[in-house]
Amino acid sequence: MKLKSVPYCTKEHLTYSVGEKDITIEEIERLITAESVEYKLSDVAKQRIQKCRDYLDEKVKTAGRPLYGITTGFGSLCNISIPSDDLTALQENLVKSHSCSYGEEVPLPIVKIMLLLKAHALSLGNSGVQVATVQCIIDMLNHDITPIVYDKGSLGASGDLAPLAKLFLPLIGEGEVYYKGEKVCSHKAFEDAGIKTITLKSKEGLALLNGTQFMSSHAVYALIMCRRALYASTAIGAVSLEAFDGLQAPFIPQLHEVRPHPGQAEVSRQMRTLLEESALQQKAKPQVQDPYSFRCISQVHGASWDSFTYVSEVITREINSVTDNPTIFPDDDLIVSGGNFHGQPIALVMDFLAVAMAELGNIS
């Protein structure tokens, strides 16, 4: 995907409170197309984050057992205990060692969505990070400091380790960013913007790197573009029907009430709206019926709409989820290693979306 920017921008000046409520794809579209956005970390998010961090700090002191990725090494080194004095170095080394993605630069709008989605996920209060760490991510958004992330190197089976490492190198003063239209070292951009780097505490490197924000951001961006394509396809279908001097009969409500697929009904409604003032539709026509590509617009476009709706539901669920590992539940006194970082829920539905969108081209 070689998309350098969204197709159009609005003149809106928005304020957005991270972690105050679930985030939606429509909201993300408004944020990335607005002329300016001021991001704030909500008070309720700060409370959740701090509560989890306090719990984790106390647990590290009193657990009496190894805590994966917190007081131990990673992967096959999970049985190696790390002295408390080395926990910061452990997390920083994790970020640096995984910063090995390559290929083409990820488009800036998608990188900004990555920052927003990670800030939102961490704000849910199950990751054990510092409030200052999430605030630093938000500061990067507010100062338009956009890390340089590459598109190769992540398989998704362990989350988005390599691209997220590139994304968060700037938090510890490493890596390159785009700032004021130029590619610069992150520490220079931070210094100019008045942002302090972060000293990572236990678990924080893992919380930043583990997760699905690279995959999810591409999915969100694709859904934004697909919704526009769906509306455009129906408009093109209406214009094409007019050029062919086709019939409006296939779009009457009764036809779609007896086969009540929601997408089919929605496309037929759109077609009726687009054609309602057409002079051509008022004239008698010689044909009994039109070719498939006109007669089945509601059915084919509608099936793609239904697929789009389903995929949107899955991705919306994903971007409001906690996807790092281990996951911390302060109220239940639990720290659990699991697999919420796995990209399978995204992978399957995005393949489905690709098929659905290809069908718009087939009927066209």
Which residues are catalytically annotated?
A: 68
Element (H, E) at 104: strand 102-105
Q: Which residues contact 173 (CB under 8 A, 6 or more apart)?
A: 186, 187, 190, 197
State the Rg of the chain over Cα.
24
131-142 vs 43-62: helix crossing angle, rounded to 10: 140
CA distance 116 to 99: 20
Longest dimension (CA), the chain: 85
Distance separating the N- and C-terminal Cα atoms of the chain: 22
**Residue among 172, 141, 111, 127 at smallest CA distance from 18:** 141
CA distance 110 to 107: 6
